[in-house]
Amino acid sequence: MESTTTEKNKSSKKKGKSTFPKDVFEKKEWHERLGEDFWKQLHRAALMMEKLDRRLADPGSSTFIDYKSQKGSIAQGLALVATLDCDDALFLPRMISLAALYRGVTVEQFVGQWLGNLLDPGKGRLEPGNFCSEAFHLVPRIGYGHRWVFHAVGMATAMRLQNHSKLVCVPLFKKDLQTTEVQKLMSFVAKQPLPIAFLIVDGGGGEFAKAVGLREKGTEETDFLEVLKFLKNQLDRIRFRKEAAVLSFCNPAWQEQSITTLLEKFLDAKGWSQEETLHAQVLDEVSYGIERATMIPAPPKSTVVQDLTHQIHPNLERQWLEWRKVHGK
């Protein structure tokens, strides 16, 4: 009897069956297991994102030159970061960069990155809205063409080889899918057991996924809670089954409503009241962060090589010293 059981276990492993319980992928009541603190934190983050977005997009502000309002994508970004684990690698695009606030980035750091001052981990050498933070597992989208997508696949491969229960999330746009290099890479990924999620920010992607052989899953839900449940289920499936997939949950209806208002209604229905002064507190925090960030100077030009190079090659160092000698820097 024991030998028969052992043989069955061996055969199931050979077939590649998952050893994870079924409910890991079907958490219909996932939100019910989250406590009051989670939802209050989510509401506070949404409130801060909306207030900061309104301040930075103000036409009367002379501080920010290249910031465009993310009003229509705040709910999308917040849903994504709320359902990812804090140590999952995220290639955060400019369109939903406010989501970095939920990961732990302060208002001062966020604004400093847009200004390119010394608060920016990239020392002002990256384009605005392109966050780089090892502490918050935010990876910059840099490199010629779509080289950062290759970087993401490399990270996912390393995670699989090290047997980590982490994943890589790569938000893409439909125009990114039209490039030959991305199409070839996706065809390769479809044949590999990789923990990587490709999120189509502006919706669609089903035909592309089918063409390259990737699993595709999308939802047109307008209810924020249902979107959270959809994302959690799909991301857990990718994480534990090491199954790359294309996900889509963009809905134009979100652009017409405030995610803060939706969460406030949810909290009221649960009987979880927020502090009466919360709006004022968040607004003060946003104003203080902006004020502090604008006082930080830009990085000196004399450190540009050190800021961009982890280890300076001897030839580059010699050229740099000659340049400084000539220009008296």
Sheet holding 168-172, edge to edge: 89-90, 168-172, 196-200, 245-248, 215-218
For residues 192 and 259, membership in a common domain is answered with: yes
For residues 191 and 317, membership in a common domain is answered with: no
Contact predicate 290/240, CB 8 Å? no
For residues 232 and 318, membership in a common domain is answered with: no
For residues 67 and 124, membership in a common domain is answered with: yes
For residues 291 and 304, membership in a common domain is answered with: no
Per-residue pLDDT of the chain (329 residues; tens, 9 = 90+): 444 444 444 444 343 333 333 343 344 455 556 788 889 999 999 999 999 998 888 877 656 667 788 887 888 889 899 999 888 999 988 888 899 999 989 999 898 888 888 887 777 767 777 787 888 888 888 766 678 888 899 999 998 888 888 999 998 888 888 888 888 888 899 998 999 999 888 777 778 888 888 898 888 887 888 888 889 889 999 998 888 999 988 777 766 678 888 888 888 888 888 888 899 999 999 999 999 988 888 887 777 777 666 677 788 778 878 877 787 66
For residues 283 and 321, membership in a common domain is answered with: no
Inside any domain, residue 18:
no
Inside any domain, residue 10:
no
Can you give the three-state secondary structure of 92-109, one letter per residue?
CCHHHHHHHHHHCCCHHH
For residues 131 and 93, membership in a common domain is answered with: yes
Inside any domain, residue 3:
no
Inside any domain, residue 12:
no
Contact predicate 287/61, CB 8 Å? no
For residues 291 and 312, membership in a common domain is answered with: no
Q: What is the spatial distance between Cα 182 and Cα 111, in angstroms, rounded to a whole number?
A: 32
For residues 36 and 140, membership in a common domain is answered with: yes
Inside any domain, residue 124:
yes
For residues 234 and 309, membership in a common domain is answered with: no
Domain hosting 37: range is 27-298
Q: How far apart are the first and last CA of the chain?
A: 81
pLDDT recorded at residue 257: 73
Overall domain count for the chain = 2
Inside any domain, residue 20:
no
Inside any domain, residue 109:
yes
Q: What is the spatial distance between Cα 86 and Cα 80, in angstroms, rounded to a whole number?
A: 11
Inside any domain, residue 53:
yes
For residues 209 and 281, membership in a common domain is answered with: yes
- Could you tell me the CATH number of the domain that includes residue 128? 3.40.50.970
Contact predicate 77/110, CB 8 Å? no
pLDDT recorded at residue 288: 93
Nearest to 195 by CA among 232, 229, 219, 164: 164
For residues 225 and 327, membership in a common domain is answered with: no
Q: What is the spatial distance between Cα 157 and Cα 150, in angstroms, rounded to a whole number?
A: 11
Q: What is the spatial distance between Cα 119 and Cα 110, in angstroms, rounded to a whole number?
A: 9
Sign of the CA dihedral with 160 first, then 161, 164, and 167 last: negative
